[in-house]
Structure 1
Amino acid sequence: MTFVQVIDCRTSRFDEMNRLMDTWVEQTKGKRTATHNLIGKDRSDNSHFIEIVEFPSYEEAMRNSKLPETDRIFQEMVALCDEMPTFTDLDIVRDEQLYAANVRRLLDEIGSAGELPPLNDLVAENCHDHDPANEQDTIGLDAIRREMEMWRGAFDFAFTVEDQISEGDRVCTRWTWNATQKGDFLGIPSTGRKVSMTGCTVFRCREDGKIVESWWQYDRLGLMSQLGALDALET
């Protein structure tokens, strides 16, 4: 579960603190586990600052805090504060921005060259995939990976995200798929043709951002036509 630490402090020596943070970033390069960091200044009080640091999990945050560089920089930071800073630890229970970002990452990784990544950081083990082109739903990460491998074996392709709308635990993504057929697809031998397809997928995410359900709608008939599968029916 994503974890966020909020640090509330007051200082009249922010420029020095800012340089200190740059030093910490440099000294912990390749070791720190924070994924995102931002600092805000109170518009009504120029000495009041709040830092928000995001980690993949509480455990990763604790590993970060145990770095010797972190402890040393913390002591120097306290010395620059007008009073002892306060800390608030938060487990993230909803993050719509994370959901949309994970969906984009999934579409990028499905179309990536080389071996298909494990995807277990993006897709839940019990994920339920609804595709009207399939007689039965695809359930479970292993089965979903096999379905993806079928597409990857038949095409070199990439998704372009055209629109994304997030609401609650769902992300609706409108996409364009551009591909070149390189292998057998549903009995159609490789044509080498360049094809494209548009579609829209609704993804449901759980608290940690992993996808647990998806509903696909796309122009499969148009794809088959581009591959020449309908030519015999048209003559």
Structure 2
Amino acid sequence: MTFVQLIDCRTSRFEELDRLMNQWVEQTRGRRTATHAVVGKDRGDTSHLVEIVEFPSYEEAMRNSKLPETDRIFREMSALCEGTPTFTDLDVVRDARLNADTARRFFEIVTASHDLSPLTGLVEEDYRDHDPANEQDVVGLKDLRRELDAWRAGFDFTFRAEDRMAQGDRVCTRWSWEGIHKGDFLGIPATGRRATMTGMTVFRFSTSGRVAEGWWQYDRLGLLRQLGAVEPPEL
């Protein structure tokens, strides 16, 4: 279970404290177990700081606390603060990564829904789609649906998310795709062949939490070879 530690302190020497934290990051490289750290400053009291540190588990957090650099940095940190920093230990019981959930829902709808109308709540009307296999970007939700419908008419397919990573307003999904060629696709009549490919999609989200832009990378040429539309290269 993911574990989070909240460190609460007051200080008027934030710049020194920040340098101290940078030292700890550098000195514990390759040995620390913390995976994510965020420092927040109270808007109503700029001397009030809260650091949120994430660990894979409570046990990993305890391993981290036993590093000699952690003990030394804590003592130096306390000297910069007004009073001793306080710690709150939290087991994470809900972790809602909202943009990542929307990206997951996008692929579910494209694969499983009878129609694409649910995309209205997930994708901006002025969405822009970048696909190197297309001569021009697809612009607008309406044209995105038309593009997706062409794939759905040509294949019965499924996506499987192999990895999904979120940072800021971007979500990257590394996926595998498998489909049966059931209808016309790019002028190629149905072959009944099973085809597979892998790829990645990066979505940029708007401030409203909808998908505003997408970048796709996949091997369309390899797909066409599997359908028999392109001869494999001679070795």
Tell me the TM-score range normalised by the shorter chain: 0.5 to 0.7
Structure 1 counterpart of 2:87? none
Q: TM-score, normalised by structure 1?
A: 0.57
Structure 1 counterpart of 2:101? 101
Alignment of 1:1-235 (within 5 A): 97-231=97-231
Post-superposition Cα deviations, 1:116-143, rounded to whole Å, max 9, x if no partner, equal 3341111000100000000000000001
Asked if structure 2 preserves the Cα contact closer than 8 Å seen for 1:96 and 1:168, the reply is no
Asked if structure 1 preserves the Cα contact closer than 8 Å seen for 2:160 and 2:175, the reply is yes
Asked if structure 2 preserves the Cα contact closer than 8 Å seen for 1:96 and 1:169, the reply is no
Partners of 2:123 and 2:130 in 1: CA distance: 14
Structure 2 counterpart of 1:33? none
Query: How far has the Cα of 1:96 moved from its partner?
Result: 7.9
Q: TM-score, normalised by structure 2?
A: 0.57
Asked if structure 2 preserves the Cα contact closer than 8 Å seen for 1:179 and 1:194, the reply is yes
Show structure 2 runs of 5+ residues with no match.
1-94
Post-superposition Cα deviations, 1:21-48, rounded to whole Å, max 9, x if no partner, equal xxxxxxxxxxxxxxxxxxxxxxxxxxxx
Asked if structure 2 preserves the Cα contact closer than 8 Å seen for 1:197 and 1:218, the reply is yes
Show structure 1 runs of 5+ residues with no match.
1-94
Partners of 1:121 and 1:185 in 2: CA distance: 28
User: RMSD between aligned alpha carbons?
Assistant: 2.0
Asked if structure 1 preserves the Cα contact closer than 8 Å seen for 2:157 and 2:179, the reply is yes
Query: How far has the Cα of 1:229 moved from its partner?
Result: 1.1
Partners of 1:182 and 1:113 in 2: CA distance: 17
Post-superposition Cα deviations, 1:185-229, rounded to whole Å, max 9, x if no partner, equal 111110011111100011000123210000000011111111011
Asked if structure 1 preserves the Cα contact closer than 8 Å seen for 2:111 and 2:157, the reply is yes
Q: How many residues align?
A: 141
